[in-house]
Structure 1
Amino acid sequence: MSQMKHIDNTPTTTGKFKIEKSPYNRLRMHSLAKLTFWSFVFLGLIFMFFFRSPSSSSHVTSDLNRRSLRTNSYGGPAWEKRVRTSAKIRSRNGISVLVTGAIGFVGTHVSAAFKRRGDGVLGLDNFNEYYDPSLKRARQALLERTGVYIVEGDINNVALLNKLFDIVPFTHVMHLAAQAGVRYAMDGV
């Protein structure tokens, strides 16, 4: 019996066996700590964004109302005809797409590519003044030459969105609208 060897070379008595710590366990604990830290940062940002003071949120509401009043020029038979014409599908397998943020750099190229492919395209942009307005108007003119009509309005304007979806049965929405600059977006300006 003394001749018997254990297959795994582990001692049979307790207390004399030491588990070796692998670097994998330390790495896993370090990653868990990082994950916990960034989770708290993310939750803090969400808390700041959704639970702001009433004075700052009323500023945002008044700004949205001001924008929707400024861009409330939609409606009427001529406007609806332009919307329908722009969103009309021209190819057999085409789609009808609403492109939000259509005047931005990416939105302009995406809208033009969809239109070249034969898809029905309608653009939506609020024409804010964060970038040069003349650049935005030049992009609007470029897109309208290719047959893409741009509706000037805000994606937060529910009445406008409902009207657009009532006029055109969009099959897709390419959502490219975004507020440039994180600080600018958090201030709601």
Structure 2
Amino acid sequence: MEIEISSCKHLVYVNEIQQEMYDSAQRRGTGIAKRSIEYLSKKISEGNAIVATENNKWVGFCYIETWSHGCFVANSGLIVSPNFRNRGVATLIKNEVFQLSREKYPEAKIFGLTTGLAVMKINSDLGYKPVIYSELTQDEEFWSGCKNCVNYEILMKKDRKNCLCTAMLFIPENTTKNNIADKQLEIK
């Protein structure tokens, strides 16, 4: 399997990726913000996504979105083709998109909203912590992306303070502080 930073060569998979995002949300009855072919194509073309393939077949995908002038980054749209699920592919893709986010936006807070326990575990392993929604970007464009979600009405009834998704946040300076504290303990 190949897991790569996206490029124009991966555009051949965009229709399949978009359809699986939609189908997966329908099967689970949970919200995944619907993205247009044009939007996903732009993410792929700009190198702001991770694409996994095997023998010229699409395996998995996740992309980067930036908010609040690059202060926040979301790793969004994580999806794995049904034929490749339960093999650890989501973890591999999420690790790669997380590293890409850290390289491109080293000072940014990285966040995600999810209803999936598996994604919560992956995020936790990467150093994300559960947070309240006010800790996330307040960029109106981000929240308007939730309009296509089946749970949007719940989000709005609660004044965007919470929903059925769990908000998780990675703060780079916390990692630096933790690494310094760990090294100080090792020295003692």
Q: Normalising by structure 1, report the TM-score.
A: 0.25
Structure index of larger Rg: 1
Structure in which a larger fraction of residues adopt strand: 2
Q: Normalising by structure 2, report the TM-score.
A: 0.25
